[in-house]
Amino acid sequence: MRPLVLALMLILGLVTPAAAAPPEKVIVLPGAKSAEGITEGRGTTFYAGDLFAGDIYRGDVRRGTAGLFIDAPAGRMAVGMTADLRHDLLFVAGGFTGQAYVYDLRTGTTAAVYQFAEANAGMVNDVTLTTDGAWFTDSLKAQLYFVPVSRSGGLGQFRTLALTGPAGDTSGSFNNNGITTSPDSRSLIVAHTTRGELNKVDPRTGASETIAGVSVPGADGIVRDGRTMWVVHNNQVSRIRLDRDATAGVLEKVITSPTFQSPSTAAKFGGRLAVVNAKFDTGLPPTADRYEVVVVNS
């Protein structure tokens, strides 16, 4: 189309210019000494954790603000997390404590504490929700933990699921990490950090198989929307399109940002991702002056 014709069409309103992508947004977690996990709340609300203090922050991706929500008791950690908005519960993986915590989102009080493994013998890393409960990963043990949730929001006794196949590989120093459900909700998808892959797990038997065509070295947190997945790893986020049965995937896009600094996990808000800067490049525990959530296009 010739420039003069295009100009005339724009003046007459016959052509709508493409909308510019919204700029990145950096949301500081005030007072945090570390960071790792994040999950979606209602609307544009997110919850993020102070990894080594266990505190929970509540923020808003639209307003670009965040503040302390739960001042956790001493000795807790906050790794991956997910919000059960039907029952106003927040499930939080407790890392090297071997524990998991369930908080009441209305009051911020502790609803339950689970001891899945002995302290430092397990690393409870991430959690996802299904229709009947919450599944947690352990980066040191070849097992998942399941906490049942009743229709009324009651919490039951946990059980352990032993893993076989590639998800059962604990030969590395850090193994199973992020977790979500498959598009058909019949299986779990677990990121394996050392193997750099995604594994599909049968929640009844613990048997697993690797999702073909996917390479995600250093895989950490994962997010799924339909058949599209986002994997946080190696200072970037890879967007992957799964096939119908979640047996294979294709890399669609690699999301990078100059503001990323060892990002760990992400939460999805429409066409945007809220990504946590864990800053593990400064050490473990990290020693950065501040920790933040970076909002980028998905």
Whether the predicted pLDDT of 11 surpasses 60: no
Q: Does any domain span residue 10?
A: no
pLDDT at 249: 98
Name the residue with higher pLDDT: 109 or 22: 109
- 7 domain-assigned: no
Residue 32 within any structural domain of the chain:
yes
Share the mean pLDDT of the chain: 94
Q: How confident is the model at residue 5 (pLDDT cuts 50, 70, 90)?
A: very low
Mean pLDDT (whole number) for 233-254: 98
Mean local confidence (pLDDT), 18-46: 92
Nearest-angstrom CA–CA distance, 227 and 3? 40
Confidence (pLDDT) at 19: 57
In this prediction, residues 230-236 reach a mean pLDDT of 98
Share of the chain above pLDDT 90, in %: 92
Residue at 148 is within a domain = yes
- Domain presence at residue 5: no
Tell me the Cα Rg of the chain: 20
Tally Cβ neighbours within 10 Å of residue 55: 22
- Residue 206 belongs to a domain: yes
Evaluate if residue 4 carries a pLDDT over 80: no
Two tokens, residue 145: 């933990």
The verdict on residue 13 lying in a domain is no
SS3 89: strand
- 148 contacts 136 by C-beta, under 8 angstroms: no
**What domain count does the chain have?**
1
Domain span at 231: 23-297
- What are 137-181's pLDDT values in tens digits? 999 999 999 999 999 999 999 999 999 999 999 999 999 999 999
CATH of the domain at 208: 2.120.10.30
Q: Do 217 and 236 form a contact (C-beta atoms < 8 A)?
A: no
Percent of the chain with pLDDT over 70: 93
Of the candidates 103, 51, 104, 98, the residue with the CA atom closest to the CA atom of residue 79? 51
Residue 4 resides in a domain: no
